[in-house]
Structure 1
């Protein structure tokens, strides 16, 4: 069995790479799935420093479904375009009706009650 990376930054990037098209996660959920509960700010920092053009960073939002970048900035506009291209509805900087990407527990046991 392959061991997960030790570097917390790489663990965060792995989680982001696994978010399926048309689904989103919050920064805190990304951190939790990377084995770093309570490190949402680290997840945000890692994504802000990223320069991999293939990383689906646009699928990561605030926990309330809002885009974290300043409205009207080029990053904000790019994120809106990418999310809409995946079929998500973005209104006033908030993604509406997006289903969070399933985690392993949900895949095995079903959605929480």
Structure 2
């Protein structure tokens, strides 16, 4: 596992229940603003890390990572945490966004 992946996992582990952040916000926090896709790659390899990867969405609040969860698990977990959706697979970012750049 690369050091970058470990750093991504450290940030994701701190996302509070009921909140979400974006791939881009994590990349900016890690100092590589153009590396949002790398954040996604790190999360795709996070199955054994026990981090709340379901709390990471794209810049529009869409659950683009849902293909890496069985069934509709990503959406179900967020709903259980009280996250509000504006449509089937898009969260209400303005109500639930957590930005590591402002919080860590």
Aligned CA distance change for structure 1 residues 41 and 102 (closer, same or farther; 3 Å): closer
TM-score, structure 1 normalization: 0.75
Question: Radius of gyration: which is bigger?
Answer: 1
Structure (1 or 2) with the greater helix fraction:
2
Name stretches of at least 5 consecutive residues in structure 1 with no aligned partner.
1-5, 108-113
Moved over 6 A (4+): none
1:36-63 per-position Cα deviation (integer Å, ceiling 9, x unaligned) = 2210000000001112362100000010
Residue 16 of structure 1 corresponds to: 12
Aligned CA distance change for structure 1 residues 53 and 85 (closer, same or farther; 3 Å): farther
Distance in 2 separating the partners of 1:45 and 1:27? 10
Residue 84 of structure 2 corresponds to: 89
Match of 1:49 among 45, 53, 65: 45
Distance in 2 separating the partners of 1:103 and 1:43? 14
* Contact 2:11–2:100 (8 Å) recurs in 1: no
TM-score, structure 2 normalization: 0.81
Cα root mean square deviation, aligned = 2.4
* Contact 2:24–2:36 (8 Å) recurs in 1: yes
